[in-house]
Amino acid sequence: MDKISQPKGTRDFGPAQMAKRSLIIDSIKKIFQRYGFQPLETPAMENLSTLQGKYGDEGDQLLFKILNSGDFLKNVNKQHLEAHNWKLITGDIAEKGLRYDLTVPFARYVVMNRHEITFPFKRYQIQPVWRADRPQRGRYREFYQCDADVVGTDSLVCEAEIILMIKDSFGVLGITDYSIKINHRGVLSAVAELLAASGKESSLFVAIDKLDKIGEEKVKEELIERGFESSSLPLLFEILTFHGNNQSKVEFLTQKFAASEKGKKGLTELTQVLELVKNFGADLAHVEFDISLARGLSYYTGCIFEVKINNVSVGSVGGGGRYDNLTAVFDSKEKSSGVGFSFGIDRLYDALEELNLFPPDAAASSTLLVAYLDNESFSYGLKIIRHLREQGIACEIYPDLTKVKKQMEYADRKKIPFVIVIGSDEVKSGLLSLKNMKTGEQHKLTHEQILDIVKK
Amino acid sequence: MDKISQPKGTRDFGPAQMAKRSLIIDSIKKIFQRYGFQPLETPAMENLSTLQGKYGDEGDQLLFKILNSGDFLKNVNKQHLEAHNWKLITGDIAEKGLRYDLTVPFARYVVMNRHEITFPFKRYQIQPVWRADRPQRGRYREFYQCDADVVGTDSLVCEAEIILMIKDSFGVLGITDYSIKINHRGVLSAVAELLAASGKESSLFVAIDKLDKIGEEKVKEELIERGFESSSLPLLFEILTFHGNNQSKVEFLTQKFAASEKGKKGLTELTQVLELVKNFGADLAHVEFDISLARGLSYYTGCIFEVKINNVSVGSVGGGGRYDNLTAVFDSKEKSSGVGFSFGIDRLYDALEELNLFPPDAAASSTLLVAYLDNESFSYGLKIIRHLREQGIACEIYPDLTKVKKQMEYADRKKIPFVIVIGSDEVKSGLLSLKNMKTGEQHKLTHEQILDIVKK
């Protein structure tokens, strides 16, 4: 028999992982809802015409494509086939692909439903995406994205609410040491203007984005390779490495950007976002204006965000930003500006694991097992079980009559915290012996006393 | 621009549908957990070697196959390619496929993790599956399955618990008019023995399964075509159409099966399952021993189930049964007998819609909107919003300063039940005017009074 496995880069989530993942997903979902975001789900498959050309050449190569059903060679170009030209054949034999992110399907949904949607439209979406990337530690071919976007408004309240949602999420998850980095594309454009590099903005942003990872020297090398004047670099790094609090950074740049409309607008908007957070009655702890934050994606036009958890190996666990026109890729006449944020569930999971922040009982196990000595106690146990379940307690009875020791082992291995053992004494007296599997304590109790204890 | 759409047979679920779907899924999930089932999720993609040969020829054709990444023609057999033999090429250019059901991935998981799993293993799994079926009303290419299985025990308690879980689920969802049909493969085998058709059991089961849909005459025709003696058919239909309560059906068949070990065992097990339900303290309302229930799937070996909601067009909304060996398809040495049940979420959705059982406020909308007249009231509103959110209330503030009428329209279209309108009076007095959007009532209230009202 062949070795059985999942496809490379994909994972099963068993009960223990599911419990932890649900903890993260349910917490974030609840917060998104509290901020007025509504759920959306789109199909795993999209037409390739929807997906292709949206993620750059590299993205197109990483799309998983689905072979057409039936005789997929029917409409294939014979010359291409005989020439073994797989690139040219692909479009003939595959019309659909797997979702690569949640933004493009969202944009498609907005375009298709623009007459029914009430704008501003606040949607969240938590679903897997697929990328034919080379699998490696922390990088999977199937992974979850967790997006919240508002489209149909330019209001900076949305940016402020993104900051608050991140703070609330981390509060619920118990994460205390983190930074919400914020910058503005206008600030970056103004830096490009200062360097007389206005046409090469995206090269500049891509290089700056790596500052964290590869350091100043390597970024300088890359910029020179990409045709930047080495004389302009000292000014660039003076700006990028300026130290100070948010206020002093704004003041420093206000001077530098005296002649740049884009720069001034960016600084004004950043300042307003931070003001709005305070107007909500929240503080600005963890919020850091980071001039070197660039984020590669070219469709951002306003504020950009990135969230990092400190002192863990995973680094960034989310990011987002404002875009001018979400649906531009589909040629929509309607202008749909908005702002979005995305949490990386897998990275959050790894961070919480590393910080030991999952509660020890997050195992999605039953709260109680009914063990029994004979058939009569078994029948008695069934009624107990039903009573407990009616009260909302997750519980189970060992299905086969076997030694109590084996039933106890089952509870132990499944980390079920309480066991009731029923024998003829218990059936007669109605008093049940409840064992706490952690402490080993055992007490004879009434049904109601047991209910009180396990409900906690 | 091309017409933008989802792929044929797939659907988006917008906020209103998501709210209703979550209601179903969350209710069933909670019940599965209460019965000690633990969550599992497996990847959307499986190796084709895992999927193929498990669902019959028709199933194999309905698998969505994923084109290998990169030069997928690299390893293709040239003769096959030149002969345009798409069937023989498929295996060379596609190694993975999309999940077709949740049972085979579950079996793969059990085989891969058999040394870590604590048996009996109770797992539930709620995920989409994909089938390249011709889309039609009520049949989709992407749809959700919702499975609960216990493997590693022969105990009939599991069958009884399946019946109880169905009853609990329908209780929570408000479904009152339904039947849980139960039969046993042993009973069907005994019927085959009586007809001297022991070798043709699966033909018999497939034909019987259609009795409901195509009627007695058509089933007779089909059986004769399939080589059954027409002289044996009166006995078959005497059995299949026997009317009476569960008890009298058992008695009727006990006589007929006097010489059949399989038949007697089947009847004994069925009787025990019904006894166990009563031992739990539950009644047997809705539970109907249906001799004509066959269920096509050949891997069932014991009890089989089907659930029908009466007086709706969708019919069956779930089914399942006991199998001897879940992992046999993977050649595992370990014998993994068990029993499973599956709800069809899409059909449940349609049934609840038809029966008008979704609560009218199932819209996943915010509970409250803060509307405002000017910038000062806006700032005041932000604090109100934050306070309400801290108390767990889903609420939002209209992001742009605009006419109150427009803000009201937004609340109305999004079915937000409460609106607070803030102007300078409210800022001064601290008393806020709360409008009930359903009744039109409007009252000046303190923050705490508002909290009390919207919390309900």
What are the residues facing B295 on neighbouring strands?
Answer: none
Read off the tokens for A89: 């054949």
The whole-number pLDDT of residue B263 equals 96
Residue A218 to chain B, least CA–CA distance (Å) = 31
A388 phi and psi angles, rounded to 5 deg: -65, -45
> Burial level of A66, CB count in 10 A (0-12/13-18/19+)?
buried
pLDDT band at B176 (very low <50, low <70, confident <90, very high): very high
User: Which residue do the tokens 């080589």 mark?
Assistant: B227
Task: Determine the Cα–Cα distance for residues B158 and B32; give it in Å rounded to an integer.
Answer: 12
In this structure, are residues B327 and B334 in contact, taking their beta carbons and an 8 Å threshold? yes
User: What is the full per-residue pLDDT of chain A (456 aa) written as tens digits?
Assistant: 457 999 999 999 999 999 999 999 999 999 999 999 999 999 999 999 999 988 888 899 999 999 999 889 988 888 888 888 898 899 999 999 999 999 999 999 999 999 999 999 999 999 999 999 998 888 899 999 999 999 999 999 999 999 999 999 999 999 999 999 999 999 999 999 998 887 788 888 888 888 888 888 999 999 999 888 888 899 999 999 899 999 999 999 999 999 999 999 999 999 999 999 999 999 999 999 999 998 866 689 999 999 999 999 887 999 999 998 888 878 667 778 999 999 999 999 999 999 999 987 766 689 999 999 999 999 999 999 999 999 999 999 999 999 999 999 999 999 999 999 999 999 999 999 999 999 999 999 999 999 999 988
The whole-number pLDDT of residue B1 equals 44
SS3 content of chain B, % helix, strand, coil (to 5): 45, 20, 35
What are the residues facing A151 on neighbouring strands?
Answer: A121, A338
The whole-number pLDDT of residue A1 equals 45
Amino acid at B271: T
Residue ranges of A 401-430 with Cβ closer than 8 A to chain B? 410, 413-414
The whole-number pLDDT of residue A79 equals 87
Would the CB atoms of B45 and A7 count as touching at under 8 Å?
yes
Measured between CB atoms, does B19 come within 8 Å of chain A?
yes
Q: Is residue B200 scored above 50 in pLDDT?
A: yes
Amino acid at B84: H
Would the CB atoms of B396 and A35 count as touching at under 8 Å?
yes
Would the CB atoms of A6 and B67 count as touching at under 8 Å?
no
The whole-number pLDDT of residue B179 equals 97
A105 phi and psi angles, rounded to 5 deg: -60, -35
The whole-number pLDDT of residue B326 equals 86
Residue B415 to chain A, least CA–CA distance (Å) = 11
Amino acid at B27: S
Query: DSSP letters along A315-360, please?
Result: -EEEEEEEES-GGGGGT-SS---EEEEEEEHHHHHHHHHHTT-S-T
Note the pLDDT tens digit of each residue in A349-390: 999 999 999 987 766 689 999 999 999 999 999 999 999 999
Would the CB atoms of B12 and A120 count as touching at under 8 Å?
no
Would the CB atoms of B6 and A47 count as touching at under 8 Å?
yes
Residue ranges of A 58-117 with Cβ closer than 8 A to chain B? 61-62, 64-67, 69-74, 81-82, 84, 86, 89-90, 93-96, 98, 108-109, 111-113
With 0.80 as the threshold, say if the pTM is over it: yes
Q: Which of A34, A39, A396 sits opposite B394 (nearest CB)?
A: A34
Residue ranges of A 228-247 with Cβ closer than 8 A to chain B? none
How many Cα atoms sit within 13 Å of A214 on the Cβ side?
A: 12
The whole-number pLDDT of residue A446 equals 94
Amino acid at B317: V
Please name the residue of chain A whose CA is at the shortest distance from the CA of residue B394: A34
DSSP character for A177?
Answer: S
Q: Which of A12, A22, A50 sits opposite B42 (nearest CB)?
A: A12
> Residue ranges of the alpha helices (H) in B233-392?
233-240, 246-256, 261-279, 345-354, 375-390
Q: Say whether A273 sits in a helix, a strand or coil.
A: helix
Task: Determine the Cα–Cα distance for residues B231 and B207; give it in Å rounded to an integer.
Answer: 17
Mutation pick from A42, A85, A396 vs chain B, by most beta carbons of B within 10 Å, is A396
How many Cα atoms sit within 13 Å of A310 on the Cβ side?
A: 7
Closest CA to B178 of B263, B286, B268: B286
Between B375-390 and A157-173, two packed helices, what is the crossing angle to 10 degrees?
20
Note the pLDDT tens digit of each residue in B425-444: 999 999 999 999 999 999 99
Please name the residue of chain B whose CA is at the shortest distance from the CA of residue A154: B400
pLDDT band at B330 (very low <50, low <70, confident <90, very high): confident
Chain A residues whose beta carbon lies within 8 Å of the beta carbon of residue B121: none
Close Cβ partners of A406 (under 8 Å, ≥ 6 residues apart): A398
The whole-number pLDDT of residue A332 equals 64
Its ipTM equals 0.93
What are the residues facing A127 on neighbouring strands?
Answer: A145
SS3 content of chain A, % helix, strand, coil (to 5): 45, 20, 35
Please name the residue of chain A whose CA is at the shortest distance from the CA of residue B157: A399
The whole-number pLDDT of residue A65 equals 97
Residue B401 to chain A, least CA–CA distance (Å) = 9
Domains by residue range for chain A, with CATH: 15-354 (3.30.930.10), 368-455 (3.40.50.800)
Chain B residues whose beta carbon lies within 8 Å of the beta carbon of residue A12: 40-43, 109, 112-113
Note the pLDDT tens digit of each residue in A263-286: 999 999 999 999 999 999 999 999
Q: What is the mean pLDDT of chain B?
A: 92
Residue ranges of A 151-180 with Cβ closer than 8 A to chain B? 153-155, 157-158, 164, 168
The whole-number pLDDT of residue A2 equals 54
Note the pLDDT tens digit of each residue in A38-68: 999 999 999 999 999 888 888 999 999 999 9
Task: Determine the Cα–Cα distance for residues B425 and B408; give it in Å rounded to an integer.
Answer: 19
Q: Is residue B420 scored above 80 in pLDDT?
A: yes
Chain B residues whose beta carbon lies within 8 Å of the beta carbon of residue A36: 366, 394-396
DSSP strand pairing (A418-422 vs A432-436) = antiparallel
Q: Is residue B308 scored above 70 in pLDDT?
A: yes
Read off the tokens for A85: 């030209």
Tell me the average pLDDT across B56-77.
91
Closest CA to A40 of A103, A85, A88: A103
Q: Say whether B146 sits in a helix, a strand or coil.
A: strand
Would the CB atoms of A18 and B10 count as touching at under 8 Å?
no
How many Cα atoms sit within 13 Å of A320 on the Cβ side?
A: 27
